Amino acid sequence: MYPELTTLILFGIAGAYIPGPNNIIASHSGFNFGFLKTIPLILGVGFGWIFILIMFESGLIFVFQQFPILQSIVKILGTIFIVFLAYKVAFTKMRTTKATKAPITFVDTLLLQTVNPQGILTAMLIVSTFLDPNNNYLRDAIWVTSIMFIITITSVAFWVLIGKYLRKVATNENFIKIFNYSMSFLLIVCVILFYV
């Protein structure tokens, strides 16, 4: 068994459940579209972030350490993509007809993980803290990846449910607009926090 299991789980929970781009988008989608229509978003975040983690476990961390400019490039690309998502979130139209706009897709959230500075820095931190290249690296990488996948999926699902149940108190169109604008604003705050 992985020797630092408790520490890893606590670290994963602390990092995954805080408000960040993924969780804000998940809450927005749960609010506007419900849980079932948001499952592709949950899976996009889960598989996308785990893909990034596996890439760092496979050696990408050394490339980022060797070329710090890559972190700046990711930060800029992440900023652009998150601002784009903030725009989509702010102007989601809610209609009762079948013309209701679709939620943010699996592909959108999968792509977000490749340019999400918070996720990339977290992956780098996990690999450098919880994996020892000289001691059971493959076994420990499998443990770390599996645990982080479960934590990621459950945290995003949790935020979707928060949005879904907030919808129960949404009594008019103005409340819905305020909620969407608030989620969009929080995404912009996440971008600002990348630079402070």
Is 105 strand, coil or helix? coil
pTM over 0.95: no
Would you say 113 and 49 are in contact if contact means Cβ atoms under 8 Å apart?
yes
**What sections of the chain are H helices per DSSP?**
5-17, 21-33, 35-55, 61-66, 69-90, 106-115, 117-130, 137-166, 173-194
Give me the count of residues in the chain: 196
Number of Cβ atoms within 10 Å of the Cβ of 122:
21
Phi, psi of 2 (to 5 degrees): -65, 130
Number of Cβ atoms within 10 Å of the Cβ of 133:
11
Round to whole Å and give the CA distance between 57 and 85.
Answer: 28
Residue 53 has which token pair? 């983690």
User: Exposed, middle or buried by CB within 10 Å (0-12, 13-18, 19+), for 97?
Assistant: exposed
- Per-residue pLDDT tens digits of the chain, which is 196 residues long: 678 889 999 999 988 998 888 999 999 999 989 999 999 999 999 999 999 999 999 998 888 888 888 888 888 888 888 888 888 888 766 544 344 467 788 998 998 898 888 888 889 889 988 998 888 899 999 999 999 999 999 999 999 999 999 888 777 778 878 888 888 898 888 888 878 7
